[in-house]
Amino acid sequence: MKEFTKKVPYTWWFLLALFSLIWPMFVGPYIAISNPNFFGGTEVSELTLSSTLYIARNLAVGLAFLLAIYLRNAHMLFILIVIRLLTDLVDAPAFFAFKEPNLVGLIIIFTIFCYLPAFFGLRYLWKKMEE
């Protein structure tokens, strides 16, 4: 049980990876609330079911991330990063299929801001959990 209460040390690059993974969870819901048309709403003040679910999902995982960071719990952070990575692996093709953005830009954004930070964070946490 002691390994679950061990606090993980933070390095600057690990904090940068965490920031890269967490900031979309608060910026995305803000965009969804302030501009519902981005997610398919017909009026400025109308939220659709999909945008409401998007907001709830991101805020819940974002708050869980903040709690895990505060507790410095490596296992909780590891699980949250895996969940975030799986979500991003589904979001990228879905975003491309429904919004039709520039494919090269989409690949660059998801690789730099989603996949690489997740892999670096998972690698760092895995090493810390093995110690």
Give residue-wise pLDDT tens across range 6-41. Answer: 788 999 999 999 999 999 899 988 988 887 776 665
96-115: buried (b, 16+ CB within 10 Å) or exposed (e) per residue? eeeeeeeeeebeeebeeebe
pTM of the predicted model as reported, rounded to 2 decimal places = 0.83
Residue 45 pLDDT = 62
* Separation CA 49–CA 108 (nearest Å): 29
Q: What percent of the chain has pLDDT over 90?
A: 47
More confident residue, 56 or 34: 56
25 or 3, which is more confident? 25
| Amino acid in position 121 | G
State which of 42-51, 53-62, 95-104 shows the largest mean pLDDT.
53-62
User: What is the Cα–Cα distance from 25 to 81, expressed in whole angstroms?
Assistant: 12
